[in-house]
Every structure is written in structure tokens, then in C-alpha cells.
């Protein structure tokens, strides 16, 4: 007669795992419900699939060695651009070799790829202070600057933005949104509460609900209030580089990665689906940035580390078209929010370039959008970010933020060359951008739909702050607070609310509301 086994007691690890899964599911369900209630976006009508001819295959050069002699390339050994290029390539190769597996083409159930928050570890606190010019805690903009402001409108704006307070329910060191260094970040566009998405160097995605409140405890200062609930999922095999949020579906979040893929997370279904990857599964095409226009919600644009920009219609598999726009890495790009045919790219070749997608000509490797104009900096340009007002902000390793004024961009004819005088920056702001290899590159990010009508952007500060600037170059605020022990290098504004978030090299989150 078979012996009847008594049910074994659940282990503490298994109990903790099930609690994590339940908490993650509850958080995503809450985000999904809130998104539909607060932002009742209707899905775009489904159009009948159109038959289209397949885009001409892009000819690619034969694979070249990862390392190349700087002498043969004609570059001085002490060239700062070469130094940064080597750092970027070394970092990418490290992430490539450390990946245990390549990108996953199948759908991923979020319950199966949860990252256990208890396993988060590592810290770079203290490292960030060694970089050139960094003075942790030393302000470059203070209350005295606000008091001395004579323009009444500017003073009011500075007072309001500087009044944002650091999230009070947990210290930044307690809000570990990703296991490793934060590389990408984004606010969900809902206005009911701040929901922050972050991606790290190893492909993990973290989600934090900023409306959480720490439980009340006794007066004992040493009492443990518990950890904030953070969902973390291993959605990509390598570094996550960008987040974009659908303009027609409040439950859709797109992410790009060095693993050469774009994935879509469905908050309602709890599924992560691969939307795009190279047709050849062995092809390595690390994606450096991602964007989507409100007028073309099904068209994704992406940039690559080999100097290309591509576009892909998610309704038409294998519809990608890829243009070689630079001989070196394109680290950041953006579409003009109101004139989405205007594309700005920032490259390791030291230039920012503006392209017109209304006029794409040529064949094969020579096919590309019309180049309207470019401006060169002394060193590499990290990012180019359009505002809705037509300003273009860039960050560069020459320790500047440059703001170009193209307010009349809506009047440009297809392919029209930009007047040379307008290609000169209207404002040049001195800003320490020497992040080195241990802090994510500083990039300006505009508030897309400011309710007050004032165009403004956020960028990390090496002294462990987040700086807020206006379109005319005026500094509006320098956000800080107690408990910030590393540079909040990846900084973003909420699209419409006065909320700002910053992520650091330890995977920790700073939130100001």
C-alpha cells in the first residue's frame, strides 16, 4: 500500500517568492487600471494590412575587428574623443560578454522573469566623487540666485520649480528600482500619481509607484518601516537604453536594448513581447535610443551604436528601413514633438545633425533622409533632444549644454537647408559632463507637454543634483536633498506634471514632487 506523504511546510524563500509575484501583479494591475481611468486613450483603429514591397536590403560592410589602431586611424593617442570611444566600446563589449544568453524572441510572462529584490547588491557610493570637477554636495545654483532674480516671471518659475521636495516616505538609498546601474528612465504619462520605469545595464526593468506611503511606526528611530514595493523584470539580455510610452494605448510600454531588440510590455496582460529584432538572429545591432511620434503611433524610430537610424512599422513585420547617418556611434536622437518629420541625431563624431524624413532619397547604402544642417562641437555630442517649442538641447563632452532655437521649424519646406546663422547655438551653458565609465552619460530631457507652457528640461549634475533649465538657458532649479549619495545621472521630467526623477549608478531612485 503506498505511503501517504504529508504536505511539506513552505520554505521562507518560496514564501517570499510568491509574495513578490503577488505584489508585482497587484502593482501592474493598479497601474493598468489607473492608466485607463485617468488617461482614457482609445486604441487606434485597426487598418487592413496593406501589401507593400519589401524595402531594399541595406548593404553592410564586412565585420571589422572591435579594436583598431589609433595610429592607423590618424587619431592622436591623447585625443579625448578616442578615449571616450574606447570607454563606450569597452563597456558594450563587457555587457556583451557577461550576458548569459542572447535576446529572447518569445513572449515573456512577467511572473516568470521577476527579479528578487532581496538579491539586489553592489554600490558605487563614493566612486562618483573622483571624477574631474565633481564636488559632491556643492551647489552651483542656490536660493541666493533666486532672491537676486529681477524678472518677476522668471523668479516665480524658479520659486515653484525649486520648491519641489524629495520623496519623503523612503530615502533614495531605500528605493532600489533596478539591480544594477540605471541607464534609462521614463515617467508613465498618467497624472494621477508618479509611476517611474527604469532600465539597467544588464537588461532588468524596474517599476516604482510614487504614491506609496511608508507604514507608520513607533517613535523609535531605529524601527524598520519595511521596503517600498518595486517590480523588477528581466525583459532584455543586455542594457536597456530607452523607454517610450504609446500615444494610443495607456497599457503599452516600449523599450530598446543593446541586445538588438525592441520589446513591448502590456501592463494589463502582464506580457512582454518582442516587437523588433534583426532578421538574422546572429546579427548584432545594439540599439542606443528609441522614439515614437504622436501622429504616427505605430512607427518606431531607433538609433544604433554603429551610426544608423531606422524606422519600423509594428503593423508590418519585416518593414524596417535603416539609414547609415554617421560613421560613428549615435548615442541619442529625438523627433520634434510637433514636427515629427524633423529628426535630430547626436554622435560620437562630435556633431548634431538635423534630418528631414519627408525627403528620403538614394538607394542601398546611400539612401537616407535629407540633411538640413549640422553643427560641430569640440568633443563628442551625447544627446539631442527636441522641445515642443522648437528648441534643441544637446549635451557634449566639451562640458557644455547647447540650446539651438528653431521656433520656425514648422515653416520649413521639405529638404530646405537651415540658415547657417541658425545652426549656431542660441545659448551655451557651462556644465560638467565628465561622467567617466561609472556614471551613466548625462543627457537633457525636455518636459514634453508642460501645463504651464514653459519649456524646460532636466539633466543630471555631477555634484549629486538634478538641474532644471528653461528654453532660454536660465537655470530654474537645482534639486537635491538628504540621503543622495551618488549622482542621479539619468534624469527625466514627467510629460506634464512638475515631477522629476533621477536614477544613479547603484540602481537607486530619487523622486521630486
Q: Cell numbers of 224, please?
A: 524598520
pLDDT in tens, the chain (513 residues): 555 545 556 655 566 556 666 776 776 777 777 766 544 444 444 444 444 333 344 343 343 333 344 444 454 545 555 555 555 555 555 555 554 455 677 777 777 777 764 443 333 333 233 335 678 889 999 999 999 999 999 999 999 999 999 999 999 999 999 999 999 999 999 999 999 999 999 999 999 999 998 887 665 555 566 789 898 899 999 999 999 999 999 999 999 999 999 999 999 999 999 999 998 888 999 999 999 999 999 999 999 999 999 999 999 988 899 999 999 999 999 999 999 999 999 999 999 999 999 999 999 889 999 999 999 999 999 999 999 999 999 999 999 999 999 999 999 999 999 988 889 999 999 999 999 888 999 999 999 999 999 999 999 999 999 999 999 999 999 999 999 999 999 999 999 999 999 999 999 999 999
User: Residue 466 has what pLDDT?
Assistant: 98
User: Residue 368 has what pLDDT?
Assistant: 95
User: Residue 499 has what pLDDT?
Assistant: 98
Nearest 5°: CA angle at 199, between 196 and 202? Answer: 155
CATH (residue range 143-215+232-512): 2.130.10.10
User: Residue 6 has what pLDDT?
Assistant: 53
State the chain's maximal CA–CA distance in angstroms.
Answer: 93
The closest of 121, 124, 102, 104 to 112, measured between CA atoms, is: 104
**Residues 336-340: contacts with CB under 8 Å, at least 24 apart:** 336/386, 336/390, 336/409, 337/293, 337/294, 337/386, 337/387, 337/388, 337/448, 338/388, 338/390, 338/410, 339/390, 339/409, 339/410, 340/293, 340/294, 340/295, 340/296
Name 301's bridge partners: 291, 311
211: which DSSP letter? T
Give, for 368, the enclosing helix (H) or strand (E). strand 368-376
Query: How many CB atoms neighbour CB 16 within 10 A?
Result: 14
Taking the C-alpha atoms of residue 304 and residue 307, their distance in angstroms, rounded to an integer, is 6
3-state helix, strand, coil in the chain (%, to 5): 15, 30, 50
Q: Is 304 helix (H, G, I), strand (E, B) or coil?
A: strand
CA-based end-to-end distance of the chain: 67
Report CA 215 to chain centroid distance, whole Å: 31
Q: Is 494 helix (H, G, I), strand (E, B) or coil?
A: coil
Nearest 5°: CA angle at 509, between 111 and 100? Answer: 45
C-alpha distance from residue 343 to each of 176, 180, 187, 372, 439 (Å) = 34, 31, 22, 10, 27
Where are the chain's structural domains?
143-215+232-512
Taking the C-alpha atoms of residue 176 and residue 182, their distance in angstroms, rounded to an integer, is 10
419: which DSSP letter? P
**Non-local CB neighbours of 312 within 8 Å, separated by 6+ positions:** 262, 275, 276, 299, 300, 301, 302, 319, 320, 321
Instruction: Provide the b/e sequence for 372-393 (b: ≥16 CB within 10 Å).
Output: bbbbebebbbbbbbbbbbbbbb
Q: What is the pTM of this model?
A: 0.81
The closest of 282, 285, 280, 284 to 322, measured between CA atoms, is: 285
Taking the C-alpha atoms of residue 486 and residue 337, their distance in angstroms, rounded to an integer, is 32
Amino acid at each position: 500500500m503506498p505511503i501517504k506523504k504529508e504536505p511539506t511546510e513552505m520554505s521562507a524563500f518560496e514564501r517570499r517568492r510568491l509574495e513578490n509575484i503577488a505584489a508585482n501583479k497587484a502593482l501592474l494591475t493598479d497601474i493598468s487600471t489607473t492608466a485607463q481611468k485617468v488617461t482614457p486613450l482609445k486604441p487606434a483603429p485597426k487598418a487592413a494590412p496593406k501589401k507593400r514591397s519589401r524595402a531594399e536590403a541595406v548593404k553592410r560592410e564586412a565585420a571589422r575587428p572591435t579594436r583598431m589602431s589609433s595610429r592607423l586611424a590618424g587619431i592622436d593617442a591623447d585625443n579625448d574623443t578616442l578615449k571616450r570611444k574606447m570607454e563606450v566600446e569597452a563597456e558594450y563589449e563587457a555587457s556583451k560578454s557577461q550576458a548569459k544568453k542572447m535576446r529572447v524572441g518569445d513572449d515573456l510572462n512577467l511572473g516568470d522573469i521577476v527579479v528578487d529584490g532581496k538579491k539586489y547588491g553592489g554600490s558605487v557610493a563614493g566612486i562618483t566623487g573622483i571624477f574631474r570637477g565633481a564636488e559632491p554636495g556643492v551647489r552651483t545654483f542656490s536660493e541666493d540666485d533666486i532672491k537676486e532674480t529681477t524678472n518677476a516671471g522668471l523668479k516665480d518659475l524658479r520659486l515653484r520649480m525649486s520648491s519641489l521636495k524629495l520623496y519623503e516616505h523612503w530615502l533614495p538609498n531605500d528605493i532600489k528600482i533596478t539591480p544594477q546601474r540605471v541607464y534609462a528612465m521614463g515617467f508613465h504619462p498618467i497624472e494621477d500619481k508618479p509611476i517611474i520605469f527604469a532600465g539597467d545595464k544588464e537588461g532588468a526593468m524596474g517599476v516604482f509607484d510614487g504614491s506609496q506611503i511608508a507604514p507608520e511606526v513607533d517613535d523609535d528611530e531605529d524601527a524598520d518601516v519595511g521596503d517600498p514595493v518595486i517590480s523588477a523584470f528581466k525583459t532584455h539580455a543586455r542594457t536597456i537604453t530607452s523607454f517610450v510610452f504609446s500615444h494610443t494605448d495607456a497599457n503599452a510600454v516600449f523599450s530598446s536594448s543593446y541586445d538588438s531588440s525592441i520589446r513591448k510590455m502590456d501592463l494589463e496582460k502582464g506580457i512582454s513581447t518582442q516587437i523588433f529584432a534583426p532578421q538574422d538572429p546572429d546579427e548584432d545591432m545594439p540599439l542606443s535610443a528609441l522614439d515614437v511620434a504622436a501622429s504616427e503611433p505605430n512607427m518606431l524610430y531607433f538609433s544604433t551604436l554603429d551610426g544608423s537610424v531606422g524606422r519600423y512599422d509594428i503593423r508590418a513585420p519585416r518593414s524596417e528601413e535603416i539609414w547609415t547617418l554617421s560613421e560613428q556611434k549615435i548615442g541619442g536622437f529625438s523627433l520634434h514633438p510637433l514636427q515629427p518629420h524633423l529628426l535630430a541625431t547626436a554622435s560620437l563624431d562630435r556633431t548634431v545633425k538635423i534630418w528631414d524624413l519627408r525627403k528620403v532619397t538614394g538607394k542601398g547604402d546611400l539612401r537616407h533622409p535629407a540633411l538640413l544642417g549640422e553643427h560641430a562641437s569640440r568633443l563628442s555630442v551625447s544627446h539631442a533632444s527636441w522641445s515642443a517649442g522648437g528648441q534643441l538641447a544637446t549635451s557634449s563632452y566639451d562640458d557644455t549644454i547647447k540650446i539651438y532655437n528653431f521656433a520656425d521649424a514648422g515653416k520649413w519646406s521639405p529638404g530646405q537647408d537651415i540658415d547657417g546663422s541658425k545652426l549656431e547655438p542660441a545659448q551655451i551653458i557651462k556644465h560638467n559632463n565628465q561622467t567617466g565609465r561609472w556614471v551613466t552619460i548625462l543627457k537633457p530631457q525636455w518636459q514634453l507637454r508642460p501645463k504651464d507652457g514653459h519649456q524646460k528640461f532636466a539633466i543630471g549634475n555631477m555634484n549629486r543634483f538634478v538641474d532644471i533649465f528653461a528654453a532660454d538657458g536660465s537655470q530654474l532649479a537645482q534639486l537635491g536633498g538628504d540621503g543622495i549619495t551618488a549622482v542621479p545621472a539619468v534624469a527625466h521630467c514627467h510629460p506634464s506634471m512638475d515631477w522629476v526623477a533621477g536614477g544613479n549608478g547603484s540602481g537607486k531612485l530619487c523622486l521630486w514632487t
